[in-house]
A and B are shown apart, each in its own frame.
Chain A
Amino acid sequence: MKRRLRPGLILAYLVLGLVLLYTITPFLWMIFTSLKSDKEAVTIPPTLWPKEPTLEAYIQILLWGNFPIWFLNSTIISLGTALLSTAIGSFAGYGFSRFSFRGRATLIGIILSSQMLPGVLLVGPYFKMLSTVELYNTYPGLILAFTAITLPFSTWMLKGFIDSVPEELDDAALIDGCTPLGAYLKVILPLIAPGMVATIIFAFLLAWGDLLWVLVLTSGEKMTTVTLGLTRLVTQFRIIWPQLMAGSMIGALPPLILYLLLQNYLVEGLTAGAVKE
């Protein structure tokens, strides 16, 4: 038995070793570059790790650049989108999970299909629409636009979490005289709280990483997000790579942290459902 496993195991280590190299090299390159001076970053041949590590790039973008504003904008827009789409979507998730009504399958089909549309189909009309109602280059305008992407996904992710709660629980509440809304708020909501957090985080990540919408629906520095700000830096004539990589580092950090949090919540949400079955 043991002898049979060994070659397979060696192969597994070999594969994982190669993948590890492929996976972490870009991260190391980003971190190392962010710690180099402007001059060292463009020496030929390039240094692998910083010879004279400096926090200059971080100080530059955090104290003298607009990066803090970009970060704030990204946070407001992503949080707004995540909360809005999760709040609205959870009601629909409950409706789809617990009730049968005419056109239910059709509606599920439409909501699912709407996730399959390309963003570029919408950006042109949005540009005109938001200009007409004077929401161009505003938080509400961007949050509405992002909701178009996140709401369908939030709806059916939440439906999944609600499905895992036994129907007997809200039936009991209904018999006790609760309205369906009351049953939803008092019984279901507390039980799917981890699922809701997971949904909020996923929607947040979708909005945080976007470039297309902010590129089209904003102008000037006032509404610039992290992704747009970094993109502008790279289209400049002289690219200052340490600053760009320092910005990338900080911009990539919230999704990274949230993902690690999400991992636990997801597992919790899933096992909670499985245990109750």
Chain B
Amino acid sequence: MNTLRARSPSIHIPFRLAQGFLFVLPTLLVLLVVLGFPIAVAIINSFSLPDGGWTLENYAKLPRDGRFRNSLVVTFTFVAGTVLLHLVVGFIIALALNTQVRGKRLFRVIAILPWTVPDVISGLIWRFMYNPTAGIINRLLFDWGLIHKHIEWLGDSDLALPSVIFADVWRGYPFVMLILLAGLQAIPRELYEAAKVDGASTVQEFRFITVPSMRGMILISVALDTIWQFRRFGLVFNMTAGGPGNVTEILSLYVYKQYFRYFNFEYAAAVAVVLAIIMLLLSLPYVRAMVRRLS
């Protein structure tokens, strides 16, 4: 999409300066109102007392809040687990689709389907699939003789988070697969032919041609996926709502509950600001690279 091309030096520079800014202005104004203002309010709130007045207490409380610490661990486990598995599953499928198999187009369309389902609805479907007595997963495992009693996938504190992650891998792998498939198809055939002439094995081809050629694509998909997974809300909300206990309580859920279940607006704002800072720091390299490419 972003093609590199030499720009002819503009003849009417001062004219273009003002014009360009005018085109961008509406977006800037809207963003200032719908984004800038609420962000400012959130930051101010996070330094406020419920009855007005300034404080650092909302932030000072964070390290002592066991539920916040738990939520941090859950969030990082969830994000790391899903992003890694999206990448592994997506890459394997992309590789399999990049061979001479039949029915590639049809399979590609089918493989994209989970990604088109709103995560809220994915959560509902998987919740019922995991249902201990009426769900299909236990039923199939029974039939195949793999289990002998009902497993409480979402009710067991050891199984709940992995079960949620497994459901999200279903939801999220297609995006990574699409990007990586496009990347694979863009690798020049000559590279592989040259490697064959040199007697390279399949593993060597993968290690020395495929992976290096795909570095950019892998980084972009992982960066975007990481950000999206930090924001994930609807899927977990509908599968477990954070339970059992708090074992699946990702930070976005915790902030939501602090706001609208416990009505600690100031403390909720502080947790949200911390989450925002984590996400901005993590996305900094990506944003930098994109700015360099876009401008």
Residues of chain A having any CB pair with chain B under 8 Å: 5, 8-9, 11-13, 15-16, 19-20, 22-27, 29-30, 33, 41-46, 48, 88-89, 91-92, 94-96, 98-102, 104-105, 107-109, 111-129, 144-145, 147-148, 151-152, 155-156, 159-161, 163-164, 167, 171, 180, 184, 205, 208-212, 215-216, 227, 230-231, 234, 241, 244-245, 248, 251-252, 255-256, 258-260, 263, 270, 273, 277
| CB-CB nearest in chain B for A262 | B116
Say yes or no: is B208 at the interface (Cβ < 8 Å to chain A): no
* B34 contact set on A, CB distance < 8 A: 144-145, 147-148, 151
Q: Is the CB of A160 within 8 A of B234?
A: no
10 other A-B residue contacts (CB within 8 Å) besides A144-B33, A151-B34, A227-B120: A19-B93, A88-B26, A113-B280, A118-B276, A121-B272, A123-B259, A180-B16, A241-B134, A259-B116, A260-B109
Q: Count residues of B near A (Cβ-Cβ below 8 Å).
A: 97
A interface secondary structure, majority: helix
Q: Which of B108-124 contact A (CB under 8 A)?
A: 109-122, 124
Say yes or no: is B68 at the interface (Cβ < 8 Å to chain A): no
Known contacts A91-B23, A107-B28, A209-B120: does B287 contact A26 (CB below 8 Å)? no
Bound-state CA distance A144–B268 (Å) is 23
| Chain A to chain B contacts (Cβ below 8 Å), 14 pairs | A11-B96, A15-B96, A26-B129, A27-B113, A45-B142, A96-B294, A99-B20, A116-B287, A121-B272, A124-B268, A127-B260, A167-B7, A216-B259, A231-B237
Q: Is the CB of B121 within 8 A of A118?
A: no
B231: shortest Cβ distance to chain A, in Å? 5
Q: Is the CB of A163 within 8 A of B1?
A: yes
| CB-CB nearest in chain A for B98 | A12
Bound-state CA distance A193–B230 (Å) is 33
Q: Is the CB of B128 within 8 A of A241?
A: yes
Q: Is the CB of B42 within 8 A of A12?
A: no
Bound-state CA distance A30–B124 (Å) is 9
- A26, A115, A216, A252 interface centre (most CB from chain B within 10 Å): A26
Q: Is the CB of A16 within 8 A of B234?
A: no
- The proximity string for B residues 83-116 relative to A, scoring 1 for CB distances below 8 Å and 0 otherwise, is 0000001001101110111000001011111111
Bound-state CA distance A195–B122 (Å) is 28
* B7 contact set on A, CB distance < 8 A: 167
* A210 contact set on B, CB distance < 8 A: 118, 234
Q: Is the CB of A116 within 8 A of B136?
A: no
* B126 contact set on A, CB distance < 8 A: 26
Q: Which of B272-295 contact A (CB under 8 A)?
A: 272-273, 275-276, 279-280, 283, 287-288, 290-291, 294-295
